Amino acid sequence: MKNRSQLALGVVLILLGAWFIAQRQFPGLSNWMGPFMNWPLNVVAAGAVILLIGLLLGAPGMAVPAAIVSGIGGILYYQNMTHDYTSWSYMWALIPGFVGVGEMVAGGLERSMRRTRSGMNLIVTSAVLFIVFAAILGKINIFGAYGPALLLILLGMWVLARGFWGRNRS
């Protein structure tokens, strides 16, 4: 499985390099694709290519780096469109959620409930962290002044419950 992932990554890098060379050699190509390929969307497209190659090579684990790359491209697209570059101070909390999305996709392709559950845990944790940091930095106002503290308490209770539930199952 590791060899397939390395093969997929190598193919992605070669295709990306070829695309950049083609854009330099044929400027009309960039003009033609211009409306569709705002620079952050190039990052999202690179993630899609990583996923596609992983699927073609039978390496579902490539869904994780594909989701990370595409997710970061989405963050960059938001920042580029809104000029809200300070949002990175809390947007980074979404990255574990991107890993979770990749884990869920890979789990679905592999028919692995363990991997799917792991992905869901990462998504929930990431969402809570995102809301907490955004609230602390004053970007959103959820549950008033006590919102971040309440969300952290709820996350802690969820983690404890998952720990007890996992212990009782085994």
Range of the domain at 37: 2-169
In tens, the pLDDT along 124-152 reads 889 988 988 888 887 877 777 777 788 78
Answer whether residue 44 shows pLDDT above 80.
yes
Question: Within a 10 A sphere around the Cβ of 35, how many other Cβ atoms?
Answer: 7
- Residue 57: band (very low, low, confident or very high) from pLDDT cuts 50, 70, 90: confident
Three-state secondary-structure class, residue 31 = helix
The token pair at 118 is: 């792991």
What pLDDT score was predicted for residue 71?
Answer: 96
- The answer to whether the beta carbons of residues 38 and 77 sit under 8 Å apart is yes
In tens, the pLDDT along 80-135 reads 999 999 899 999 999 999 999 999 999 999 998 999 999 999 998 899 889 888 88
DSSP 143: S
Domain count for the chain:
1
Three-state secondary-structure class, residue 40 = helix
DSSP secondary structure string, 58-127? Answer: T-GGGHHHHHHHHHHHHHHHHHHHH--GGGHHHHGGGHHHHHHHHHHHHHHHHT-HHHHHHHHHHHHHHH
**Quick one: which of 101, 91, 106, 105 has its CA closest to 122?**
101
What pLDDT score was predicted for residue 35?
Answer: 61
φ/ψ of 158, rounded to 5, equals -65, -45
CA distance from start to end of the chain: 28
